[in-house]
Amino acid sequence: MRLTHFAWLNALLHLVGLMFAWLMREGTMLNTLPGRMAWLAQDPFIWKLGWICWMLAALCVGGLFAGLWGALGKPPRLLWAVALACAGAAADIFSELIYISVLPPLARAANRETFLAFEAAAFSGGCVLANGFYTLGLWLCALELRAQQRANLALDAAAAVTVCCGAAMSVAGLLMNAELLQIFTGPTILGFCAWGVLAARRVTP
């Protein structure tokens, strides 16, 4: 698959994931604790499907960075970006497995304390660790593209939006603030989708 095609696939998965994030908000900290436990106790299929989509999107981040690493001549800086993306995907997928397989049974059992503990672990793992690793990796990619004179204004703007909003998402994770996370998730994902497509086009002959 050409890198540009993969970049579009990556963008599509992230955009679908963004749609699922809106549909799944009843099971998140945007809802009250009784409300989200009652919703998750039903073990809704859309909850599982949405997190599976985000798992695939997490893998695509590493694939995109790896494709850029190869297209740019395998520079060491991008190898670090790939490693960060892989670490981020591991943290992301582990957190998403908690959302899928742990929280619904705890909600059905009405075990509030354990539910809150696992929910906090999944929230922090996805927002702070995974998103932090992805953001740092993209920043390294942006530096390499500029060093190799492959960047342009649109690419730099997309990178700036993604890195700044991604950092804000990590702060939201540290603060356990779902409202702040909601504000910055859309711009981060849209910026990343645009950046991935633009970066792939800039490095593809």
Question: Considering only CA atoms, which of 71, 68, 53, 63 is closest in space to residue 88?
Answer: 63
Decide if 192 contacts 7 (C-beta within 8 A): no
Return d(Cα 161, Cα 74) in angstroms, integer: 25
Residue 52 CB neighbours (<10 A): 14
First to last CA, the chain: 14
Domain residues of the chain, as ranges? 3-203
Q: Cβ atoms within 10 A of the Cβ of 19, count?
A: 11
Cα–Cα dist 37/52, whole Å:
20
Q: What pLDDT is recorded for position 204?
A: 84
Q: What local confidence, expressed as pLDDT, does residue 77 receive?
A: 95
pLDDT at 24: 96
3-state SS class at 157: helix
Q: Identify the H or E element spanning 63.
A: helix 45-71
Supply angle C-alpha 134, 114, 171, rounded to 5: 30
Helix 112-124 with 76-97: angle, nearest 10 deg: 160
pLDDT in the model for residue 1: 73
**Ramachandran area for residue 35 (φ above 0: left; ψ -120 to 50: alpha; else beta):** alpha
* Whole-number pLDDT of residue 205: 76
CA–CA distances in Å: residue 11 to residues 60, 103, 175: 9, 28, 28
pLDDT along the chain (205 residues), means of 10: 93 96 95 96 95 97 96 95 97 97 96 96 95 97 95 96 96 95 96 97 88
Q: What is the 3-state secondary structure (H, E, C) of 128-191?
A: HHHHHHHHHHHHHHHHHHHHCCCCCHHHHHHHHHHHHHHHHHHHHHHHCCHHHHHHHHHHHHHH
Model-level pTM? 0.94
Structure confidence at residue 132 (pLDDT) = 95
